[in-house]
Amino acid sequence: MIKVLIVDDHPMILEGLKALLSEDESLKITQLCTNAIDTLVAIKQDMPDVALLDINLPHINGIELCAKIKSEYPAIKTIALTTFSERSYVNKMLEAGASGYLIKSSTKEEITHAIKQVFKGGMVLNVPFDLVQNEVFQKQRTPFLTPREKEVLQLIADGLTNPQIAEKIFVSVLTVNSHRKNLLSKFEVSNTASLIREAAKMGLI
């Protein structure tokens, strides 16, 4: 049997998920937790194979909890089960080590399939198709930046002027101005505000 831990800050959702998933004889619900602290205690008491994590948790959110679980208990597979479908949340959860990302509107079959897939070492993303397409599109259009351009971009985002950037990275103002022009060209924008906005959308700052 696959031992499953469920974490959500709404007790009714916890009970509903427990009742739903308990119908599958290959799954055993070991613990129900409403916050990160209780989750870490529960893991020590009864090590699960898979943890379903909501992102919107009190004190420590599901992304931070996922990272902590993967750091301390790398054998545990984690799956986000949340209402958030934004690309940024998907990216952050996967970066934290999650093996799956499900929207709460997922069916029982979709959730049980995801649990079994990640238990076997797979990965499952149940997000709107246009979101996945947007992710692919975003990766395709992200420009290649040199290490120095990345550094200048971050300093621009921090609000530094060209002379301030030049002083900070020990180059001439003309060199910084050249980097800024290259960045505007690579991002296909005409001003600093648009540059920062596009870079933020791509997760570069």
- Each residue's pLDDT tens digit, 111-143: 999 999 999 888 888 876 444 445 544 544 678
Q: Where are the domains of the chain?
A: 2-137, 142-201
Q: Are the CB atoms for 46 and 72 separated by under 8 Å?
A: no
- Each residue's pLDDT tens digit, 23-51: 999 999 999 999 999 999 999 999 999 99
CATH level 3 topology of 142-201: Arc Repressor Mutant, subunit A (1.10.10)
CATH number of the 2-137 domain:
3.40.50.2300
pLDDT of residue 30: 95
- Each residue's pLDDT tens digit, 13-27: 999 999 999 999 999
pTM of the model: 0.63
